[in-house]
Structure 1
Amino acid sequence: MARLPRLAIAGQPHLALQRGNNGQPVFIDAADREKLLTLATELAPRAGVQLHAYVLLDDEFQWLLTPTRDDSLPLWMQGVGRSYVRYFNDRHGRRGTLWEGRYRATALQPERWLLKAMVALDLAPVQAGLVGEAAAWRWGSLGHYLGRRQERGLTPPLAYWALGNTPFAREAAYADLVREGLSTSEAAQLRDSGWRGWVLGDEAFVARLQQQSPRRLHKARAGRPPSSGRQTSAD
């Protein structure tokens, strides 16, 4: 069965993920992570991508972003991925692929899933056993949204602005969301949708996006499709 094209719909927030080949590290030290961030922020305006949030783990990176054109996301991911591989191979004296196949991406219903996706990114280092609490991980956007530092190139999404009327109110409200965390079901839906490329949202949202994309946006139901004609008996 042919694999589905990767999803990219202009004007919708997307969760994009890329993992190291066979689970190998894609970052060796702080210089590698700084290089990836530099590439990501420098290429975003040229590709037409708004970056909202991110996390860099040892063997993968994840971004929450909004493409302004249908080709913005693939242009940005390909540009960042290829440039970083050239840098990484040259710096560490290696050859060959670094990534585990194609990057993955999915569109999210903003009012239901955007902030949850941000929280999922912030909690990923804790789940990976890299730190004991989310705020201790330097290589993510959480510090930016807690007011601890300013990250060049990040655009807070509308859902974040709606958390409060002042920076302090928004930062406090977002800190509460991170402390509250996600349910097991929410975390699983985000991860599964991200890696499989199915749109995450309610039926009306998926149906609306389906009108903008020729690609199927949700998992097909199991079993044979219903017959369009009258069945006849062989008896």
Structure 2
Amino acid sequence: MPRRPRIHLAGIPLHIVQRGHNRDACFFGEDDYHAYRHWLGEALKTSGCQLHAYVLMTNHVHLLLTPPAPEAVTQLVISLGRRYVHYINKTYRRTGTLWDSRYKSSLVQADAYLLLCQRYIELNPVRAAMVDDPAHYRWSSYRANGLGQPDPLLTRHEASWVGPRPHALRPTARCSARNSMPMRSAISAWRWIRGSRSEIPAFSTASNGRPGSAAKSSHAAGRESWRQSRQDRQRNWR
């Protein structure tokens, strides 16, 4: 049965998943993660792809990137895979394949699903019970996207900004992002980062930055307004 052709489009984000052969490990030590990141950076430069999120799990890899041309994705994967597999085989004196079949890829609609896909990727270590907080996992883009720490591999996608976009897209520290975003956007960003809709921080305008009763009442009013507008829309559809 012929393989289904992959659909790669220039300028459209792509979610790539590559697993170890027979679901075996593809990272065996800390140096392996550093080597993969190095070759990933080289492949991004040669292919021109922009990386928005990633996670390096023990036996598979997730990449969220935007290619400048359809053929750039294949170029990146082949270059990265060839160099990394050669490094693993030489380091551990092994032979044969490392990856399981072909990589899997799916297009991501930037406006609607890019943040959801980014959240899914960065929460992989939590779902796998490797850590209880994504910030505790070193080999993902969460610390850059969620906490504002620098990561030279990443390029911020316009759809990932929840507040006023700066002139130049770059990773922004959590404190400066909080000061520049409207209250509602800051709450939405916090929900996405923590992955919970129930744990909403009570932001306060007080100088000490502690939760205040005015902020709590404002959040309650906002939630009530949202529920009311949702009910109105449902009635209009009937």
**Cα distance in structure 2, aligned partners of 1:181 and 1:104:** 28
1:33 alignment partner in structure 2: 33
1:177 matched to 2:197? The reply is no
Any conservation in 2 of the 1:56–1:140 contact (CA below 8 Å)? yes
Report the CA distance shift for 1:18/1:109 in structure 2 as closer, same or farther (over 3 A): same
**Same amino acid, percent of matched pairs:** 31
Equivalent position amino acid for 1:74 in 2: T
**How far did residue 105 of structure 1 move?**
0.7
Q: Which residue in 2 is equivalent to 1:115?
A: 115
Given that 1:163 and 1:174 are in contact with CA atoms closer than 8 Å, whether structure 2 keeps it comes out as no
Match of 1:24 in 2: 24
Give, in whole Å, the separation in 1 of the partners of 2:148 and 2:13.
Answer: 25
Distance 1:59 1:181, change over 3 A: farther
153-162 or 99-108: bigger deviation = 153-162
| Structure 1 match to 2:125 | 125
Max Rg structure: 2
Shift of 1:174: 3.5
Superposed displacement of residue 15, structure 1? 0.2
- Tell me the TM-score normalized by structure 2: 0.72
Task: For residue 146 of structure 1, give the secondary structure of its aligned residue in structure 2.
Answer: helix
Residue pair 2:162, 2:189 contacting (<8 A) in 1 also: no
Give CA deviations for 1:45-77 in whole Å, capped at 9, x if unaligned: 211211111000000011000000110001001
Counterparts of 2:68 and 2:165, CA distance in 1:
27
Structure 1 unmatched runs, 5+: 183-235
Q: Deviations over 1:110-168 (max 9, x none)?
A: 11110001000111111112111211111100000133521012101101224455742
Question: Which structure is higher in RCO with an 8 Å CA cutoff and minimum separation 6?
Answer: 1
The reply on whether 1:52 has 2:76 as its aligned counterpart is no
Of the structure 1 ranges 147-156 and 52-61, higher mean CA displacement relative to structure 2 is found in 147-156
Matched AA of 2:192: L
**Which amino acid is the alignment partner of residue 14 of structure 1?**
L
- Unaligned 5+ segments in structure 2 are 167-171, 198-238
- Give the counterpart letter for 1:122 in structure 2: E
Q: How many residue pairs were aligned?
A: 182
Q: In 1, Cα distance between the equivalents of 2:153 and 2:20?
A: 24
Aligned to 1:138: 138
Distance 1:41 1:131 in 2: 26
